[in-house]
Structure 1
Amino acid sequence: MPAEKVPLAGQRILIAEDESFIAFELAAMMERLGCTVVGPVSRVEEVLRHAVEGWCDGALLDVNLRGQLIFEILPRLQAVRLPLIISSGYQDINFYPMNFRMLPRIGKPVDERELRRVCELVFGNSLRDGRFDA
């Protein structure tokens, strides 16, 4: 029987989170999913630098980093075609600007099974191989 492919194995995922305990937990979860964690970083400028310089394959972004919302940099992240997931305690859809409401989101506190599901959809190797098994 062939070995089962791990959809997230080897993906370099940037974690942007300014709460150190949450950042530590997210990093541990992502590593259990087979990802290589970049960061965590806690400032919007660091997210942009990592994304533009190509140091990551995707990003898991807290919506509010040290009081600065990430919405202002999302167009640049989209321009470099960086797959991303927003993690947030803000569940009211009206909090998000209209043009970012369809972005993949995961609520806090983060459920590891839900994180796996969303990460496989957004970051999974199967998407890069041209296959999508949902």
Structure 2
Amino acid sequence: MTQLQGLSVLVVEDEGSVALLIEDMLQDLGCEIVASVARLAEALKVAATAEVDLAVLDVNLDGQPVFPVAELLRERQIPLVFSTGYGTSGLPREFSSHPVLCKPFSMTELQQTVALALRR
């Protein structure tokens, strides 16, 4: 059992295979995937109402930045982790303090980054 056991997670990722990989890793860590969405409009709807403990957000959703979703989650005081191939340089200043997973990442890196987000 990990410290993440029972954690409810929203996954926002536009690449299907990457989304499945993240979901599998989180489930292996004991998390429950509440929703997994690939498009900005759907992510905004889910982020506004879903009962989640954490969100993992791909920075770029089919050419659209995920930051409106991040802002909504931040207003709801839901911890979040950004997932990106661009590193921290791809984040606006207002989100630079949030944990970032640089793609590709391992399960250990995911676990450590989620734990960091939860401690914030």
Q: TM-score, normalised by structure 2?
A: 0.89
Q: Distance in 1 between matches of 2:110 and 2:22?
A: 9
Q: How far off is 1:92 after superposition?
A: 5.2
> Which consecutive unaligned segments of at least 5 residues does structure 1 have?
none
How far has the Cα of 1:51 moved from its partner? Answer: 2.1
Task: Give the Cα separation in 2 of the matches to 1:92 and 1:74.
Answer: 15
Alignment of 1:1-134 (within 5 A): 6-91=2-87, 93=89, 95-123=90-118
Gap regions ≥5 residues in structure 2: none
Distance (whole Å) between structure 1 residues aligned to residue 76 and residue 101 of structure 2? 22
Misfit runs of 4+, over 4 Å:
none
- State which structure, 1 or 2, has the greater radius of gyration over its C-alpha atoms: 1
Shift of 1:6: 2.7
**8 Å Cα contact 1:8-1:33 kept in structure 2:** yes
Tell me, what secondary structure is at the counterpart of 1:73? helix
What is the one-letter code of the residue matched to 2:98? L
Residues paired across the two proteins, number: 120
**Conserved? CA contact 2:40–2:61, under 8 Å:** yes
User: C-alpha separation between the residues in 2 aligned to 1:97 and 1:64?
Assistant: 13
Q: Which letter maps to 2:95? A: F
Letter of the 1:96 counterpart: L
